[in-house]
């Protein structure tokens, strides 16, 4: 009986469910990417040494304070509440006209994720050996060049697992956007239940779908991480006796 009903939901409402999944993935993906960009920008700003120029230093300190407040507020309040405040705050300030839903959802997830990414990126930058900066300075790179050429590429590799984790969290947490009516997967479940009154069956389907998404995404990201960890071998070119000889050196694969 139960399985038949579940199957009927899948068959009957598959277009709603797929659309909901698409919206969920879209918002989670863009939100994670934009959040990472916010994290990188704030991380670079906060780890840049203060300028000797009084005015620039003052501006920098102000900016740092604003970033700290942003991080504290967005990490210290639920995204569901943030959604309501931002969505209806915009309407309040604009004479009742509301934001289009999907862009609003992307904005909310991005800015929320950004607050977490800010800490992840900053930790990533701080944990890079100071010698990497000094090596870059010693050949004449500016702080910004050292950051972009040497440090950030290493940070990106190191924080990839945390970024993947944020993406998976976002897939699940976009469900709170149903409070402002974004038609993501959880919202679709509510809509289907309102038609068939089969609450348990409907949410079971949605539960499985969420799991399929997070499981698949986790595996894909893990593969990418492995790829990015680089080849564990390199080629020694041209031995002295035979210039065509190539010696392949394999490193012990890190576990």
Q: Where does this chain bind other proteins (CB under 8 A)? A: 129, 131-132, 134-142, 145, 149-150, 153-154, 157, 230, 234-239, 249, 251
Nearer to other proteins, 142 or 216 (CB): 142
Smallest gap from residue 247 Cβ to other proteins (A): 8
> Residues near 21 by Cβ (< 8 Å), separated by ≥ 6?
185, 209, 213
Q: How far apart are CA 21 and CA 171, in angstroms?
A: 9
Smallest gap from residue 221 Cβ to other proteins (A): 20
Nearer to other proteins, 150 or 169 (CB): 150
Nearer to other proteins, 11 or 249 (CB): 249
Nearer to other proteins, 195 or 232 (CB): 232
Smallest gap from residue 40 Cβ to other proteins (A): 16
Q: How far apart are CA 129 and CA 148, in angstroms?
A: 15
Nearer to other proteins, 98 or 235 (CB): 235
């Amino acid at each position: 009986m139960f399985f038949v009903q579940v199957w009927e939901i899948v068959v009957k409402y598959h277009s709603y469910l797929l659309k909901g999944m698409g919206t969920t993935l879209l918002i989670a993906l863009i939100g994670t990417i934009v959040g990472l960009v916010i994290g990188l920008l704030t991380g670079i700003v906060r780890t840049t040494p203060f300028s000797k120029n009084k005015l620039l230093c003052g501006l920098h300190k102000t900016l740092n304070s604003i970033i700290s407040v942003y991080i504290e507020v967005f990490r210290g309040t639920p995204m569901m509440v943030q959604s309501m405040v931002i969505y209806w705050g915009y309407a309040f300030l604009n004479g009742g006209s509301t934001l289009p839903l999907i862009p609003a959802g992307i904005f909310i997830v991005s800015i929320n994720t950004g607050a977490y990414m800010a800490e992840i990126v900053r930790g990533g930058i701080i944990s890079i050996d100071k010698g990497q900066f000094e090596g870059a300075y010693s050949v004449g790179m500016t702080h910004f060049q050292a950051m972009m050429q040497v440090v950030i590429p290493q940070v990106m590799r190191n924080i990839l697992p945390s970024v993947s984790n944020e993406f998976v969290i976002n897939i699940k947490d976009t469900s709170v956007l149903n409070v402002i009516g974004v038609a993501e997967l959880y919202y679709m479940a509510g809509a289907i239940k309102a038609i068939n009154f089969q609450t348990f069956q409907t949410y079971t389907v949605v539960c499985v779908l969420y799991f399929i998404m997070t499981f698949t995404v986790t595996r894909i990201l893990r593969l990418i991480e492995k790829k990015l960890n680089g080849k564990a071998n390199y080629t020694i070119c041209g031995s002295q006796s035979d210039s065509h000889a190539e010696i392949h050196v394999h490193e012990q694969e890190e576990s």
